[in-house]
Amino acid sequence: SVRPPQEFFDFRRLSKPANFGEIQQRVGYNLGYFSANYITIVLGLSIYALITNFLLLFVTIFVLGGIYGINKLNGEDLVLPVGRFNTSQLYTGLLIVAVPLGFLASPISTMMWLIGSSGVTVGAHAALMEKPIETVFEEEV
């Protein structure tokens, strides 16, 4: 479940870890404890990446809309004034248009940015956020 913002952004629990072992403990605990919050952050960064890369957003909507439209035909031919097109031809046409546009939209660099920004954001929060004081006492018992 998503933890409340007051707990997720509790700046009193932010501190520099003493050593790498403490970083490992914090990251291990926080990735499990705040996992829903981290997924929300990654989804937000994904939406931001799509909004700022308009061509990638257009290609994504174009491909999904094309697949939806072709499936809506239920296997029947599309009849236009210029001719009849079966589903195989429609998928081929969609592929011919979408692949070059997809390369121009630079999805690989967008994914690399998303991986890097998510890793830094989530990793920094997980490494710097101390465990709740209750868990420290539970471990010692």
Does the residue 129 lie in any domain? yes
pLDDT value at residue 133: 77
Task: Give CA–CA dist 72/117, Å, rounded.
Answer: 38
Grouping H, G, I as helix, E, B as strand and the rest as coil, residue 129 is strand
**Which tokens go with 63?**
């491909």
**Res 136: pLDDT:** 67
Backbone angles phi, psi at 63, to 5 degrees: -65, -45
Residue 12: what are its φ and ψ, rounded to 5°? -70, -20
Domain that holds residue 119: 16-140
CA distances from 34 to 28, 37, 93, 139 (A): 10, 5, 44, 19
21 in any annotated domain: yes
Residue spans of the chain under pLDDT 50: none
Does the residue 123 lie in any domain? yes
Number of domains the chain contains: 1
CB 81 within 8 A of CB 8: no
Q: pLDDT, tens digit, for every residue of 90-101?
A: 999 999 999 999
- With respect to residue 64, please indicate whether it lies within any of the assigned structural domains: yes
